[in-house]
Structure 1
Amino acid sequence: MDVSFNIEDELIKLYRFVKRPTWSPEPYQSKLHKLLVFSFLLVLSLIAGLLLGACIQAIQQFDFFEPTQHEMEKMMYEHPKYYIFLLGVVAAPLLEECIFRGPLLYASKFEKLFPYFFYASVLLFGFVHLSNYQLNTSVLYFAPILVSAQLFTGITFGYIRVKFGLLYSIALHASYNGILFLPFLFFDFS
């Protein structure tokens, strides 16, 4: 079985998609190819999420804005770990992908407007995550930075949704969240 997978080619495809999103599914790819693209997007999203998270930590360290307690931190003290895991790795990906990426199928009927629908879904996905913070003026001022990881993953989740389907975006979202939750499951941060 010939599986052509090249990281540079995949980056170029992703760049072209980001530049001009179109409804362009690739349903006839082999399962191995889909797994390789899935893995590539997962690693890319994790690297971007960790780098953007480090930037947010640096901004907080230098007192550029008033840090507020992240809702996940609060939940860690109020609920058992299995509850947080089920919420973050099962419920959130399922609901958020159906809400934010599911409607892209209907948006595909409007070819010229599809990029606007796509980026609207990315922005809504990103900014709904502002609810993870106690809103104040400085949080609103730094909102694009605070949700930059969600904006980036919104693009990668949307890309895989368009290319391979909604189940792949749910799985990518769940995998991303699951990997980020692993340290919280095995270590006590209290």
Structure 2
Amino acid sequence: MKETFNNVITYLKNPVPGIDPNKNTGYRIKILFHLFIISIITSIIITPIFSVLQELQLVDFETHKLEEMFKDMSFIQILLLGSILTPILEETLFRAPITIFVKPKSFKYAFYIFTLIFGFVHITNFEITTNVLLLSPILILPQLLVGGYFGYIRVKFGLLWAMLLHGSYNGFLFLMSFLFE
């Protein structure tokens, strides 16, 4: 897993187009699993920041738009929407287009721009206030980081793999939120 993490960090510093030549399904599942664990660890590391923002009453996490959207849905509906439909839609919008940029310089810009847009779209999950706008880089930090991971696997293995990683990540977070309610 350390090697996968190092490869991702190196890639995120200088993203370039190029599919991983290793087509072995076992290898790809292993990398997918590593990226899933890395995504979860990233979220765990970042979570205390949100607790501090909540404690300081800088951002109201109780009015998160996802909770409002999901309030009348069953667990299965939420899981299907959050771990299947949303990843398909978001990966199609934010990761599919990056591989049309084939020149390294334009690819790099496209990779970063699509990752930033993906992250900042998620600011709409919050009630927009001055504090939310000022703290938006912190509030969307998890989406920026996992967006980079999703972009990495999309470029290396293809769009379906990004959808699988995104869906697994979202599904895990939804399962955890239900378990801790």
Give your verdict on TM over 0.5.
Answer: yes
Task: Summarize deviations over 1:128-153 as a string: whole Å, max 9, x none.
Answer: 00110110100001001111000000
Corresponding position: 1:111 with 2:104: yes
Unaligned 5+ residue runs, structure 1?
1-6
Separation in structure 2 between the aligned mates of residue 48 and residue 12 of structure 1, nearest angstrom: 14
Corresponding position: 1:34 with 2:16: no
5 Å-filtered alignment, 1:1-190, equals: 7-63=1-57, 65-68=58-61, 69-107=63-101, 109-185=102-178, 189=181
Q: Retained in 1: the 8 A contact 2:17–2:155?
A: yes
Deviating 4+ runs (over 4 angstroms):
184-187
- How much has 1:56 moved relative to structure 2? 1.1
Change (3 A) 1:66 1:112: closer
- How much has 1:28 moved relative to structure 2? 2.7
Unaligned 5+ residue runs, structure 2?
none
- How much has 1:54 moved relative to structure 2? 2.4
Asked which structure has the greater CA Rg, the reply is: 1
| Structure 2 letter corresponding to 1:38 | L
Identity %: 35
| Structure 2 letter corresponding to 1:8 | K
The structure carrying a bigger helix percent of its residues is 2
| Structure 1 letter corresponding to 2:32 | F
Q: Retained in 1: the 8 A contact 2:4–2:35?
A: no
Cα RMSD (Å): 1.5
Aligned residue pairs, count: 180
Secondary structure of 1:78's partner? coil
Q: TM-score with structure 2 length normalisation? A: 0.93
Q: TM-score with structure 1 length normalisation? A: 0.88
